[in-house]
Structures are given as structure tokens and as C-alpha cells.
């Protein structure tokens, strides 16, 4: 087996990453939202590569792509290797995709060496982790773990198209979403390879590391309502300007966020109504994304922020509200998985580095039905969710080789 472990093809991984990057609605970076023509093009390519790797391929009722490579014990629980096929807007090429392509590369290496592990292996391309289109994250992985909710089907995109309608448009039957749920007894564990999207591995000058846990994330929509009016006639002191109130909120959110160590809080979207240069903004809507590895700290900061915003609205005579879009509690990776990854790092001359993930991943959802493990791969300057996201071919090869070694430990 030693020979095989060095034979993953970094070149093939890099080629496939480039091919997939073309499935995008934007020239600048990659934009591939779920249940779209672009995501369908990507699924076709990935299905072809899964078949080339000796896997049978199926799509589940939520449009997750699942390749299966039989082991010598066909009824044994399968080791799942997964990540996501969708992207944010003007994303990089590697977020999510590197984990799926590396999983296929691992299986293809086994297949090309005519090697059958004891346990079956499944590679999963999840359909919608980012939640960019419908603002509900981890859709595909929550469907697999049985945590998908009926009301998710009512989520709407910017054009008012519901998730249910978008699913129907590509031939899926939304009411069957429960069929995507996986019986935990059929799963041996879940492993996800992902770019680090942070600075640690560059600082440590190491290509890969193990993830110890994933920070919890809450996402809210907020709405602030004042009074629209003529920009030329309403005295400044008599206004109920929703955008000025929102600006005070955003600065308060940053100030409060700085008070809690390792907390991150972001207002990522803001829309101003009616949005005319000579009209005082009457309504502002936006999003709040708040994360911390300790759920209690996150909740304390959230309470602090909401109290402060209430005070701003009262002082300015406006009304406002926060409404929760999604909540993903912090999760820990399993010791079994962390130990397997660290052992492989050490066997390959690396330090057993453990990193807390500030970014969310499909592994958070799958954690509710099985042991999860994550392998991080170094990315340039830790940049992600940006066209400048970059991973060297050498590090892609090292990541896939570490993943192959870990998979062999867990399936033979
Ligand atoms: O937002 C995140 O952390 C992930 O990229 N979905
Ligand atoms: Mn992402
Ligand atoms: Mn990701």
C-alpha cells in the first residue's frame, strides 16, 4: 500500500479544479449557485469523474451527488468523504470543490491500483453549503443528516423563486426531501478535506493540518424602518433616516464584537429603500452573521448587540427587528478522526497541528449522525470567498495523499 499512497495525481486534481471553475455565471471569480444551469454543468462533470474512478453515481432527492466505491464487505457501513459543489458570489476555485475532487482522486487511486478496502467509500458533492441563493446554509448536508426542515422549501432567492420551485425546475420532487436522510448505521464516519481559509498553516509552514472543531454560526436578517422624505426639504434634525440608524448599528456591532475574544460578526448585505439619491432612506434591510467556537459567548454577544440596536432605534424614533435565518451550533471533530489525521501527518514528517475552523462546513451538519474529521490544506494568505483564493499544485497533492492515508486507516 505504501507505493499507492504516493501515487495520487496532483495534476489531475488541478486540471479538474480548472474545468469546474468554468461552471460560473461570472468571469471574475467563480459564482455557482445551487439548482442552476451552472450547478448542473458541474454535477455532470463530477459524475463523469466519479464513474472514471470506478464508482457508481446517484443523485439524491436534494440534488446531492453521491459516488460509491464498494469494499470487500458490501454491507459494512460506508466511510463518507464530502464537501460542497456550490460557491459564494465571485468566489475562488477551491472552496468546497477541492474536498470533492480530492475524494474522487483518492478513490481513483485505489481503483487504478485494483485495491478494494474492507469498508465501502462514498464521495459526496453537497448541493448547497454556502446558502448564497436561498440564505439557508448546509441544505444538502442537513438533508443527509435528517435535519432539513419543511419550511426550508419556502426559502426565496432574490427573484422570489422558492427552493421548492427551483428544485422542481431541475426535475426534483421537493416533498420527497425526507428520502435524503441517511440511516446512521450505514455510515462509518465522515471526513472532509477543505482549504483552511485562514493563516495558521502558512505561519506553521506546513501543507496540512487537522481540524479540532468548527465555530458555531448564527445568521439573522434585520429591518430598520424610519420615514422616507424629500432630501431637499426635511431638516436634518427632523428626520427618521433608516440608513443613518443602520450605520450607527453597524459601528456599534463592530465595537461590541471587539469586546469578545475570538468572536467574529459581519454585516454582509445591506439594501436601502427606496434607494433614490434625493429621497431620505425609509427602510434598510441587512444580514448579521455572528460566530464563535463557544455557543454561550456567541449568545451573550448577540444579546448585547440586540439591546444596543433597540436603544438606537428608540433614540432615533424608528422601529426595527431581527429575525433568525439559521443557527449552526459549534461542533467538535471526533478524537478517532483527529488521531487518525495526526498520525498520518506525523508519518509523513509533519507536525500534528490542530486548528479551530472559523468557517462553517458540511461536516457541522453530518456531525449529528456520525464521527466527523476534517483535513485543512494551506491556501495563499488565507484568502477565501474571493477570486484570489489559491492553492499550489504541490499542496493539493499533499492534501490528497494525506486524505488517502487517512481513508486507508479508516477502511482497511
Ligand atoms: O460561511 C461559511 O463559513 C462557509 O463558507 N459557508
Ligand atoms: Mn465558503
Ligand atoms: Mn466551504
CA neighbor of 140 nearest in space, from 151, 125, 155, 153:
125
> Are 139 and 176 spatial neighbours (Cβ–Cβ below 8 Å)?
no
Nearest ligand 1 atom, CA 130: 6
Question: pLDDT by residue (tens digit) across 179-236?
Answer: 999 999 999 999 999 999 999 999 999 999 999 999 999 999 999 999 999 999 999 9
CA-based nearest residue to 250, from 279, 270, 274: 270
Q: Would you state the pLDDT for residue 5?
A: 55
CA–centroid distance, 65 to ligand 1, in Å, is 20
Nearest residue CA, atom 6 of ligand 1?
Answer: 130
| Å from CA of 386 to ligand 2 middle | 10
Low-confidence ranges of the chain (pLDDT < 70): 1-6
Is the CB of residue 92 below 6 angstroms from any atom belonging to ligand 1?
no
- Give the whole-angstrom CA distance, residue 38 versus residue 45: 11
Nearest atom (ligand 1) to Cα of 131? 6
pLDDT at 147: 95
Strand partners, 79: 121, 189
Ligand nearest 129 Cα, by number?
Answer: 1
Q: How far apart are CA 350 and CA 206, in angstroms?
A: 7
pTM: 0.91
Q: For 265, how many CA atoms within 13 A lie in the half-sphere containing its CB? A: 26
Q: Is the Cβ atom of 360 under 6 angstroms away from ligand 1?
A: yes
Q: Please give the distance, rounded to the nearest whole angstrom, from the Cα atom of residue 361 to the centre of ligand 1.
A: 6
Distance CA 209, CA 399 (A): 9
Ligand 1 in contact with 289 (CB < 6 A)? no
Q: What is the pLDDT of residue 1?
A: 46
Taking the chain, what is the end-to-end CA distance rounded to the nearest angstrom? 11
Measured in Å, residue 204 CA sits from the centre of ligand 1 at 23
- 140: CA distance to ligand 2 center in Å? 14
129 in contact with ligand 1, CB cutoff 6 A? yes
> HSE-up of 405 (CA within 13 Å, CB side)?
22
Q: Which domains does the chain carry?
A: 2-215+330-411 (3.40.630.10), 216-328 (3.30.70.360)
User: Is 130 touching ligand 1 by the criterion CB < 6 Å?
Assistant: yes
373 in contact with ligand 1, CB cutoff 6 A:
no
**Residue 349 φ/ψ, nearest 5 degrees:** 75, 20
- Exposure string (b/e) for 195-228, b if CB count within 10 Å is 16 or more? bbbbebbeeeebbbbbbbbbbbbbbbebbbbbbb
The reply to whether ligand 1 has any atom less than 6 angstroms from the CB of 216 is no
* Residue 35, φ and ψ in degrees, nearest 5: 60, 45
CA distances from 384 to 123, 149, 296 (A): 23, 29, 27
- Pocket perturbation via mutation, ligand 1, pick of 84, 96, 359, 362 by most ligand atoms within 8 A of CB: 359
Please give the Cα distance from 354 to 408 (Å, whole number). 21
398: Cα separation from own chain's centroid: 22
Q: Which of 88, 288, 325, 382 to mutate to test the pocket of ligand 1 (most atoms within 8 A of CB)?
A: 88
Q: Which among 170, 174, 113, 169 is positioned nearest to 143, based on CA atoms?
A: 174
Residue 1, burial from CB neighbour count under 10 angstroms (0-12, 13-18, 19+):
exposed
Amino acid at each position: 500500500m505504501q507505493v499507492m499512497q504516493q501515487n495520487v495525481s496532483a495534476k489531475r486534481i488541478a486540471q479538474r479544479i480548472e474545468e469546474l471553475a468554468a461552471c460560473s455565471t461570472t468571469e471574475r471569480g467563480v459564482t455557482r449557485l445551487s439548482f442552476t444551469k451552472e450547478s448542473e454543468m458541474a454535477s455532470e462533470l463530477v459524475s463523469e469523474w466519479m464513474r472514471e474512478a470506478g464508482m457508481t453515481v446517484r443523485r439524491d432527492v436534494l440534488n446531492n451527488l453521491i459516488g460509491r466505491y464498494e469494499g470487500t464487505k458490501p454491507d459494512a457501513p460506508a466511510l463518507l468523504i464530502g464537501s460542497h459543489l456550490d460557491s459564494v458570489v465571485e468566489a475562488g476555485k477551491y472552496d468546497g470543490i477541492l474536498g470533492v475532487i480530492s475524494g474522487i482522486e483518492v478513490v481513483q487511486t485505489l481503483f487504478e491500483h485494483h485495491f478494494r478496502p474492507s469498508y465501502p467509500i462514498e464521495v459526496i458533492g453537497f448541493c448547497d453549503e454556502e446558502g448564497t441563493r436561498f440564505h439557508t446554509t448546509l441544505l444538502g448536508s442537513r438533508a443527509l443528516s435528517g435535519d432539513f426542515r419543511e419550511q426550508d422549501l419556502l426559502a426565496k432567492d432574490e427573484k422570489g423563486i422558492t427552493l421548492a420551485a427551483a428544485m422542481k425546475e431541475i426535475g426534483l420532487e421537493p416533498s420527497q426531501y425526507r428520502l435524503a436522510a441517511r440511516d446512521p448505521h450505514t455510515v462509518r464516519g465522515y471526513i472532509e478535506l477543505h482549504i483552511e481559509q485562514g493563516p495558521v498553516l502558512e505561519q506553521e509552514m506546513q501543507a496540512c493540518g487537522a481540524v479540532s472543531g468548527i465555530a458555531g454560526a448564527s445568521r439573522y436578517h434585520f429591518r430598520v424602518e424610519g420615514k422616507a422624505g424629500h432630501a431637499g426639504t426635511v431638516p436634518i434634525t427632523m428626520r427618521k433616516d433608516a440608513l443613518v440608524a443602520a450605520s450607527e448599528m453597524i459601528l456599534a456591532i463592530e465595537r461590541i464584537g471587539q469586546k469578545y475574544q475570538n468572536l467574529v460578526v459581519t454585516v454582509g448585505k445591506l439594501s436601502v429603500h427606496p434607494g433614490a439619491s434625493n429621497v431620505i432612506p425609509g427602510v434598510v434591510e441587512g444580514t448579521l452573521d455572528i460566530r464563535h467556537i463557544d455557543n454561550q459567548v456567541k449568545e451573550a454577544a448577540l444579546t448585547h448587540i440586540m439591546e444596543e440596536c433597540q436603544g438606537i432605534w428608540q433614540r432615533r424614533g424608528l422601529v426595527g427587528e431581527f429575525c433568525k435565518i439559521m443557527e449552526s451550533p459549534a461542533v467538535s471533530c471526533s478524537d478517532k478522526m483527529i488521531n487518525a489525521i495526526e498520525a498520518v501527518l506525523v508519518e509523513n514528517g509533519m507536525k500534528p497541528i490542530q486548528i479551530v475552523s472559523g468557517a462553517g462546513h458540511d461536516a457541522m451538519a453530518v456531525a449529528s449522525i456520525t464521527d466527523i474529521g476534517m483535513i485543512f490544506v494551506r491556501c495563499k494568505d488565507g484568502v477565501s470567498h474571493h477570486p484570489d483564493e489559491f492553492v499550489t499544485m504541490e499542496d493539493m497533492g499533499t492534501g490528497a495523499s494525506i486524505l488517502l492515508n487517512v481513508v486507508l486507516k479508516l477502511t482497511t
